[in-house]
Amino acid sequence: MIDSPITEAKMMNILLVDDHKMVRDAFSFYFKDDDHYFIKAQAVNGEDALKRLKTEPFDLLITDINMPVMNGLDLVQTIRDENIDINILVVSMLDDIKNIKKMLNMGIQGYILKDAGKEVVKTALKTIEQGEHYFAPEVTQRVMESMGGSGITPKQRLTIEIELSSREKEVLKLILDEKTNQEIADLLFISVRTVEGHKRSMLTKTGCKNLVGLTMYAIEHNLVEL
């Protein structure tokens, strides 16, 4: 009997986005001899990163928030709007809680601090690769504090955290007007696939299971002007 060949683990290609060379050099050093995670390309801002994402395949995106030309918030929002399939780890400072919540609402897979060491970075990536989320304890604590502590109810938590993009609000209003996916796409000059992506994003943000629940939630919490 001939033994089956052992399948090698797939190399995870990373796009690293940060405007500080020192940070990029540190990450390059972290993964220099790694046989699984490979920094395939680097970008100095969101605009540069998008060009890369549209021409090359990547498995993971590591990005900062505060960058010139196009910041991390706009980068992640564009990735979601255009349905680019990639896992996202934010590596930034513990800055404005609004930015942290915006990133969470956009469905990022992880958020760690810039002073995190090599082991934390690799733990975050492994956790994300396994289909789970990884958030630094400081980030989780900051979000909980902004919501008034741990005693807040899930319903209250959703109300505080929900922040739809302008495009999502446009799609949501048309959903409330009982427009079909094709009608919404035609009215907003976007593809049906993009419409479906916005719907999935809003279901994720609100915790609703279907469009009926999303409609009721939107009306109850005044997510759009009717």
* pLDDT, tens digit (0-9, with 9 covering 90-100), for 167-226: 888 999 898 888 889 999 999 999 998 998 888 888 877 767 777 777 777 776 777 765
Full set of structural domains in the chain with CATH? 12-146 (3.40.50.2300), 164-220 (1.10.10.10)
pLDDT score of 182: 92
Beta sheet of 87-92, edge-to-edge order: 37-43, 12-17, 60-63, 87-92, 110-113, 134-135
Establish how many alpha carbons lie within 13 A of residue 169's alpha carbon, considering only the half-sphere containing its beta carbon.
Answer: 11
pLDDT score of 43: 95
Give one DSSP letter per residue of 16-72, joined into a string: EE-S-HHHHHHHHHHTTT-SSEEEEEEESSHHHHHHHHTTS--SEEEE-S--SSS-H
pLDDT score of 90: 93
Residue 3 — pLDDT band, cuts 50, 70, 90?
very low
Residue 145 — pLDDT band, cuts 50, 70, 90?
low
pLDDT tens track for 99-143: 887 888 788 888 988 877 888 899 999 999 888 888 888 887 777
pLDDT score of 183: 93
Give the pLDDT mean for 65-85: 90
pLDDT tens track for 23-46: 888 888 888 888 899 999 999 999
Q: In DSSP terms, which residues pair with 12 in a beta bridge?
A: 37
Give the pLDDT mean for 59-77: 92
pLDDT score of 200: 85
Residue 63 — pLDDT band, cuts 50, 70, 90?
very high
pLDDT score of 150: 45
